[in-house]
A and B are shown apart, each in its own frame.
Chain A
Amino acid sequence: MSLLSVQNVSKRVREGERERTILHGVELELQAGELVGIWGARRSGRTTLLRIAAGIETPDAGTVQFEGSDLAKHRDRTLGTGIGYVTRTLRAGEEQRVLEQVGAALLARGTPVDRALESAREALARAGCAGTAAMRVGELAGAELVRVAIARTLTLSPALLVIDDPTATVELSERDGILTLLRELARDGIAVLASSGAPEELAGFHRVLTLGEGVLRGVSASGLAPVVALRSRAV
Chain B
Amino acid sequence: MGAGSVREQPQAPMHSPVNWALLGLIIARPSYAYELARRFERTYDGALSLSSVSHVYTALGTLRDRGLVQEIAGTGSAPRSRRRYEATAAGLSEHAEWLVAQASEERRRQRLLVTQLGALVHTPERALEVLDEYEQACLADLAAAPPAGEITPGTTGLISRLIGEETRLSVAAKLRWVQYARAQLTQSGAAGAPGTPR
Task: Give the contacting residue for A179; candidates B149, B171, B172; CB below 8 A.
Answer: B149
What mask results when residues 202 to 232 of chain A are scored 1 for a CB within 8 Å of chain B, else 0?
1111111110110001110000001011010
Given contacts A217-B136, A228-B132, contact A234 B171 (CB under 8 A): no
Contact between chains at B146 and A203 (CB < 8 Å): yes
Contact between chains at A200 and B169 (CB < 8 Å): yes
What mask results when residues 153 to 193 of chain B are scored 1 for a CB within 8 Å of chain A, else 0?
00000000000100111011001101100110010000000
Task: Give the contacting residue for A231; candidates B125, B136, B143, B183; CB below 8 A.
Answer: B125
- Closest chain-A Cβ to B184's Cβ sits at a distance in Å of 13
Contacting residues, chain A, for B183 (C-beta < 8 A)? 213
A121 lies within 8 A of chain B by Cβ: no
- Which bracket fits the contact residues of B? 20 to 34
- Closest chain-A Cβ to B88's Cβ sits at a distance in Å of 38
Contacting residues, chain B, for A179 (C-beta < 8 A)? 147-149
Q: A175 CA to B125 CA in the complex, in Å?
A: 38
Contacting residues, chain B, for A176 (C-beta < 8 A)? 147-149
Task: Give the contacting residue for A204; candidates B135, B136, B140, B147; CB below 8 A.
Answer: B147
Main secondary structure of the interface of A (DSSP, over half): mixed
Contact between chains at B150 and A202 (CB < 8 Å): no
Contact between chains at B164 and A209 (CB < 8 Å): no
Contacting residues, chain B, for A202 (C-beta < 8 A)? 142-143
Interface residue ranges, A against B (CB under 8 Å): 39, 41, 175-177, 179-180, 183, 198-210, 212-213, 217-219, 226, 228-229, 231, 234
> What 4 pairs between A and B have smallest CB-CB spacing?
A176-B149, A204-B147, A200-B172, A203-B145
Interface residue ranges, B against A (CB under 8 Å): 125, 128-129, 132-133, 135-136, 139-140, 142-143, 145-150, 164, 167-169, 171-172, 175-176, 178-179, 182-183, 186
